[in-house]
Amino acid sequence: MREALFVKQNSGKWRSYEQQQTASPDELAERFIDITNDLAYAKTFYPQSKTTAYLNGLASVLHQSIYKNKKEDTNRFLTFWKFELPLLFHTYRRQLLYSLIFFLVFCAIGVLSAKYDDTFVRLILGDGYVNMTNENIAKGDPFGVYKQQGPVEMFFKIAANNTYVALLMFVSGIFFCIGPVFFMLKNGIMIGSFEYYFFSKGLGMESILVIWIHGTLEISAIIIAGGAGLVLGHGLLFPKTYTRFEAFKNSAKDGTKIALGLVPIILLAAFFEGFVTRYTNMPAWLSISILAGSLLFIVWYVIIYPSKIFKRNQFSQA
């Protein structure tokens, strides 16, 4: 759709949102979703236009109105998960893709380094962990590390640590995207060498069936957190038609929503690691079901569902 037609079809609605104030939380939420949808469309097809800048300002005003309203919107929570966060995933799909690519490349570096350097695994994972795992392998329980703590204690410890790491990865994007890439490097090399270690011991498939029960969601959260960090840095590096400060504020707001949206995924991964992964002898079909379910959920919620919402909105505006 040409920009002129897009503006003509929606300008009346936009003016009414500006001129006709409302105190209804439900109405404010509906307006915000509507404007956010229009903004996502404009960012995609007219990224450097005045229309996009105008919609961004209008969305900011509506956002402030929602949070200044003292009456709680009972649907706000559902709105965020059902529309707002998925649309952010679609809007910043390139940053998420870059984060995934960085992670996979660094994983490959970890695998190759571990393969051609016998000391690399100990350098990355530490002598203590390697020695303990070697002892567990000798005892016939290679993944005994997941049974050393009680499930509740393990859950809270892992959830707190992974939430901290994800938020740190996001905040590090303020250093012009260098921070998230560094964390991708660190985590990717560690995962690559970690998996190569078990494959070199003839435990590759078993490690996948056990460790990736929680690792599927955990690593997905790390990759998305890296993408949120790239979103944060993107505003500083590529302000486009905005001032650098305004672009940074916008990217910081969107990146924060993505980072905070990861918390339930991190908590679920911590639940799996604390309460489920310890059952290292569970049937293969059950392990595969958890793995496949986790992966399908991530692919659906981060890629497929956001694309469907965007196309539906685009069709309604055509």
pLDDT > 70? residue 88: yes
Whether residue 213 contacts residue 272, with contact meaning beta carbons closer than 8 Å, is answered with: yes
- Residue 275 tokens, joined: 């309460």
pLDDT > 70? residue 73: no
Q: CA quadruple 116, 119, 122, 124: dihedral positive or negative? A: negative
Distance CA 245, CA 250 (A): 9
Q: Which residue type occupies 21?
A: Q
Cα-trace Rg, the chain: 23
pLDDT recorded at residue 219: 97
Closest to 268 in 3D by CA, of 290, 252, 240, 246: 290
Q: How far apart are the first and last CA of the chain?
A: 7
Least confident piece of the model among 43-52, 96-105, 148-157, 221-230: 43-52
pLDDT bucket at 311, cuts 50 / 70 / 90: confident
Q: How many helices (H) and strands (E) does the chain have?
A: 15, 0
**Domain residue ranges of the chain, discontinuous segments joined by +:** 3-74, 93-314
Least confident piece of the model among 9-18, 23-32, 75-84: 23-32
DSSP symbol at 82: I
Query: pTM, whole model, 2 decimals?
Result: 0.77
pLDDT > 80? residue 263: yes
Mean pLDDT score of the chain: 89
Query: What number is the average pLDDT over the span 171-185?
Result: 94
Least confident piece of the model among 21-35, 181-195, 224-238: 21-35
- Residue 228 tokens, joined: 């949120």
DSSP string across the chain: --HHHHHHHHHHHHHHHHHS----HHHHHHHHHHHHHHHHHHHHH-TTSHHHHHHHHHHHHHHHHHHH-SS--TTHHHHIIIIIHHHHHHHTHHHHHHHHHHHHHHHHHHHHHHHH-TTHHHHHH-HHHHHHHHHHHHTT-TTGGGGSS-HHHHHHHHHHHHHHHHHHHHHGGGTTTHHHHHHHHHHHHHHHHHHHHHHHTT-HHHHHHHHHHHHHHHHHHHHHHHHHHHHHHHHHH--TTS-HHHHHHHHHHHHHHHHHHTHHHHHHHHHIIIIITT-TTS-HHHHHHHHHHHHHHHHIIIIIHHHHHHHHHHHHH-
pLDDT > 70? residue 315: no
